A and B are shown apart, each in its own frame.
Chain A
């Protein structure tokens, strides 16, 4: 039950993009086409789940016993950067079609603040291992949901008569605002 609450709240109520403002760069940059948005979402979910669990292990098995908690930021970002590299090589070897689909988005993920955000938030919220796993999965799927909805709206927006100076980031942010308003409706869920 507890786990379900964590999952639903990471997915809908405290959606990473629309509530924590994490992963806004790819949200604005990669959300202009539906299929690429979906690939990006899957790549993020994948890396996010692995990164959160690995950083959890590092934090509680390495940093806490040796009282090195202040190295949190440096070690997490190094873990994420190297993890992205490893995942990229692994996928390339094991599943070339998946690599084709995710390829160009994988390196970009290193600088996606959502990944580091999940790792930092699990420490802040003092989750245990299983809760971390569920939280990361929910957050990743929440990111996918938000970016896919956004891409769907933006494909329609292309045919709309938007003022010249509002095009691009401006209209995307205002649309995201309306989306955030809609997601506020989920807050009564838990």
Chain B
């Protein structure tokens, strides 16, 4: 029961993007199309689950003073693996994501989970926590990229959603649109939470 809670808390209650406002770079940068967002979600989930697993296994061997450096090296190793894999098997996607795959190293969601959770909990709980957080990140990115791609190009994952009458709202796929959509989503998220609490 307790493990289930660790798993689902990342979906809504402690959603890394909407509640904790972490990992903003990829959330804003790669959500101009659903395809890019899916690639980013996959890469982040792989790195997060992998490094949570390793960190929770070695947590008793790592001296407290060098723990951050250790976490960073573990994370950087997994990011290198994800980066090489994408470059080898999905060159187009790798090109579209550009520097944002290597930048997963400094994504605060990942380091944050190692510091706050994986370094203090067992392997099973840490992996479940990482999976839940990845799903929360995934939910946020899918929402963002769906809104931006449908409004900005009239398509979803490359399929036409809005008819030819629709004039694409260009700003949505430009940087400014990313800030607007995320701002409004966070507003909506807080409002829903407040309505349920009150």
> Given B29, B84, B187, which contacts A21 in the complex, CB threshold below 8 Å?
B29
Q: Which residues of B contact A72 (CB under 8 A)?
A: 80, 102
Question: In residues 58-85 of chain B, which contact A (Cβ within 8 Å)?
Answer: 69, 72-73, 76-77, 79-80, 83-84
A170 within 8 A of B: yes
**With contacts A111-B106, A120-B99, A180-B179 known, is A78 near B186, CB below 8 A?**
no
Q: A116-B102, A124-B99, A171-B183 are in contact. Are A111 and B174 (CB under 8 A)?
A: no
Is the beta-carbon distance between A173 and B179 smaller than 8 angstroms? yes
Of the listed stretches A22-30, A44-52, A58-66, A91-99, name the one at the interface; the rest are far from the partner chain: A22-30
Q: Which residues of B176-190 have CB atoms within 8 Å of chain A's CB atoms?
A: 176-180, 182-184, 186-187, 190
State which residues 144-186 of B face A: CB under 8 Å: 171, 174-180, 182-184, 186
- Partner-contacting stretch, out of A1-9, A33-41, A126-134, A161-169: A161-169
User: Do A177 and B180 contact each other (CB < 8 Å), given the known contacts A74-B77, A170-B187?
Assistant: yes
Interface size on B, residues (CB 8 A): 40
Chain B residues near A170 (CB-CB < 8 A): 183-184, 186-187, 190
Contact of B72 among A81, A112, A113 (CB under 8 A): A81
Chain A interface, number of residues (Cβ within 8 angstroms): 40
Known: A73-B79, A124-B99, A165-B187. A112 touches B106 (CB 8 A): yes
Given A81-B69, A165-B194, A169-B186, A174 and B80 touching (CB < 8 A)? no
Question: A18 in the interface, Cβ–Cβ < 8 Å?
Answer: yes
CA of A72 to CA of B77, assembled, Å:
11
Instruction: Select which of A25, A71, A120, A174 is within 8 A of B103 by beta carbon.
Output: A120
Q: What is the interface of chain B, defined by CB distance below 8 A to chain A?
A: 21-22, 24-25, 28-29, 69, 72-73, 76-77, 79-80, 83-84, 98-99, 102-103, 105-108, 111, 171, 174-180, 182-184, 186-187, 190-191, 194
* Chain A residues in the interface with B (C-beta under 8 A): 18-22, 24-25, 28, 70-74, 77-78, 81, 111-113, 116-117, 120-121, 124, 163-166, 169-174, 176-178, 180-181, 184
